[in-house]
Amino acid sequence: MEKSQEPPELLDCVGFGEGLCCLQIPLLSIVAMKICTTRGLCYLFFSLQTMSSSIKIESVVKEKNRMGECPVWEERENALVYVDINSQKVCRWNAVTNKVQSVPVGTMAEETVPGVRARRQGALYTLYPDYSVVKQLDQVDISNGLDWSLDHRTFFHIDSLTYAVHAFSYDVHTGKIACPKLVYHLEKEEQMPDGMCIDTEGKLWVACIDGGRVIRLDPETGKRIQTVMLPASRITSCCFGGKDYSEMYVTSAYDGLDETALAKEPQAGEIFKITGLDVKGIPQNFYAA
């Protein structure tokens, strides 16, 4: 059964007629109910919510990001490095001092109209240690989630506007990718996939922008196995970090929300820390020239 902080679907039901039916539901709470009657019987459909007391979500960076993205845990400095794309800056949050440093950098593609860019103009490249560059994919919309399986034989990729996660065979010696296959296509309520990371069990964690959640996927079965809801809808990316990589850091954005939505989401654009997931991440792979 999928772990979830929110009721993703109707999970159980009970019917009663002349007799009395009692239902005991440990560790679950009823958050919605629908009553139907047919043939003299009354059916109550319960939408259930898992009460996982171990999972804790807190905002650790309250400085708002227009488009927070690309979190990377910097183990030596005990810090989280991330970018605010639309503010064109790279930031570092120190977990010990709780201070944020930022440096302005970079440029990005022009929008054809506000919020809209030309389709399939992107590509995915490999940068080799000798600084040579090879194009791996073209006609890409938005390359977002990138990660590798624990044995480095599979490359996982998210092109956000496909609303899906794909896997490719990966040659660790040449860096070539091939044989794409679908891992998971997001459900309507999950909205669009964005950033992604992997845990020590080889499961993928995908941030769902406009879906207000991160989801855990089993790439072997193509099934979603966990959902964690967050207090902001525009969830952009995630990574593991902390002393033993048992903490998950999640970036978010406030760009794209109007005044009414912002009033309902006062934490939009903040960075969150999730603990109690009962799984750890792995250290970031670094480019070696």
Provide the CA 38 distance to its chain's centre, in angstroms: 41
**Is residue 194 among the annotated active site residues?**
yes
Pick the catalytic residue from 147, 159, 194, 199. Answer: 194
Measured in residues, the chain has a length of 289
Are 218 and 245 spatial neighbours (Cβ–Cβ below 8 Å)?
no
Are 164 and 145 spatial neighbours (Cβ–Cβ below 8 Å)?
no
Which DSSP symbol is given to 243? T
Distance of alpha carbon 271 from alpha carbon 250, whole angstroms:
6
Beta bridge pairs of residue 49 = 29
> Which residue, among 29, 23, 25, 24, has the nearest Cα to 51 in the 3D structure?
29
Which DSSP symbol is given to 109? P
Helix (H, G, I), strand (E, B) or coil at 251: strand
What is the bridge-based pairing of β-strands 247-252 and 89-94?
unpaired
> Which residue, among 194, 171, 169, has the nearest Cα to 179 in the 3D structure?
169
Q: Which amino acid is at 53?
A: S
Distance of alpha carbon 107 from alpha carbon 149, whole angstroms:
31
Which DSSP symbol is given to 87? G
With a CB cutoff of 8 Å and minimum separation 6, the contacts of 159 are 140, 141, 142, 143, 144, 166
115 torsion bin: left (phi>0), alpha (psi -120 to 50), beta (else): left
Are 234 and 253 spatial neighbours (Cβ–Cβ below 8 Å)?
yes
Residues carrying an active site annotation:
194
